Amino acid sequence: MMKMVLLGLSILVGGAGVAAPVAEKEQISILHDGDEVKKVEVIPFTHEVGEPFVDLERVGKLSRELSEQLVQEPVNAKIGKSGEILSGEPGFKVYEEKFQTKFIQTLYEPSKQSMTVPLMTVHPKVDSELIAHIRTQQIGQYVTYFNSRNEERTHNIQLSSDAIDNHVVFPNEVFSFNEVVGKRTKEKGYKPAPVIVKGEVTEGIGGGICQVSSTLFNAVDHARIKIVERYSHSKQVPYVPPGRDATVSWWGPDFTFKNNYNEPVLIRSNVVGGTLRIAIYSANGVDVKPRDIPDASKELPDEIHIDNLKDGFME
């Protein structure tokens, strides 16, 4: 339908058999907030007389390119460090249909050498009212412990904990640990954290991440939320009881769960000293009978830090 509208518009403004835009101007400046973001040549967007006057496929391609370039994601509301609710902020994206119509009009208006990209407001998925509604009841939690003197591993645990903190999972939505936390790379701040535990090298780049995914798994399972995908390490890990771990890797296993309640659930993750605590919250109306989960041991295994391990990517 949109293509037909644009075709009709190109014929209407161009006139019968008149390639108007080519004769009048060579370029169009495309603006955002008063600044030029792109300058395009007019001729590639037009056809010879006897064909449709505007190359609609090229116009569509231009609008998609601008959509990738001019986008600002909305910021969800969240709970601050002191327990206060921080309001979200709207974002924006290119209003592609309006852009295409406006661009064709600009092609055929001799006096217009530029145009401003029309934008569409994108509101946050999570607002202050929703946060206030689902922060009221804790339905699950789990606590694990680690050696805070291992600075690199502690740093990685803090980064990934921050990534999942304040994340809201809506009813029937599937949470993916890999998708939410993202790829664990040096560019994103993750550090090599190789250590020897009981005679074996256990972790490399991004070491410590699996403690966060495992703690999250136990908190979610405590709340009886449906586990969709969960894999154990090939060998027992020291920070959770046997069989209670959830290994993750960007190019490998993921930890996912589906919110099977009729209200959104809120993840809170907090690191204090050598303690990682993850709690799951939801609205007061959610009826939950927490599952019994064995506690993690506070006793930490002996570690030997390795400074020169190369190309280690186990998590």
What's the average model confidence in pLDDT over 252-267? 96
What pLDDT band is residue 300 in, cutting at 50, 70 and 90?
confident
* Residues 169-223 pLDDT 10s: 999 999 999 999 999 888 888 888 765 455 455 555 557 899 999 999 999 999 9
**Is 52 a residue whose pLDDT tops 80?**
no
Partner residues linked to 115 by β-bridges: 30
Q: What is the mean pLDDT of residues 150-161?
A: 93
- Model confidence at 34: pLDDT above 60: yes
Contact 168, 76 (CB under 8 A): yes
**CATH 3.10.20.800 in the chain, residues?**
2-122
Determine the Cα–Cα distance for residues 149 and 157; give it in Å rounded to an integer: 13
Q: Higher-confidence residue: 302 or 117?
A: 117
pLDDT of residue 305: 61
Q: Which residues contact 307 (CB under 8 A, 6 or more apart)?
A: none
User: How many other C-beta atoms can be found within 10 angstroms of the C-beta atom of residue 289?
Assistant: 7
pLDDT band per the 50, 70, 90 thresholds, residue 49: low
Token pair listed for 301? 């295994």
For position 313, what pLDDT does the model report? 39
Mean pLDDT is lowest, of 7-21, 128-142, 252-266, for 7-21
> Domain 2-122, what architecture?
Roll (3.10)
Under 8 Å between Cβ of 163 and 181:
yes
Would the pLDDT of 253 be above 70?
yes
Contact 276, 156 (CB under 8 A): no
- pLDDT at residue 177, as a whole number: 97
Supply the pLDDT for residue 110: 82
* 3-state percent helix, strand, coil for the chain, nearest multiple of 5: 30, 25, 45
Mean of pLDDT over the chain? 86
Q: What percent of the chain has pLDDT over 70?
A: 82
Q: What's the rounded mean pLDDT across residues 85-104?
A: 95
At 206 the pLDDT is: 59
- Name, in order, each residue with C-beta under 8 angstroms of 4's C-beta and a sequence gap of 6 or more: none
Question: Would you place residue 13 in the very low, low, confident or very high pLDDT band (cuts 50, 70, 90)?
Answer: very low
- pTM here is 0.81
Q: How far apart are CA 108 and CA 226, in angstroms?
A: 57
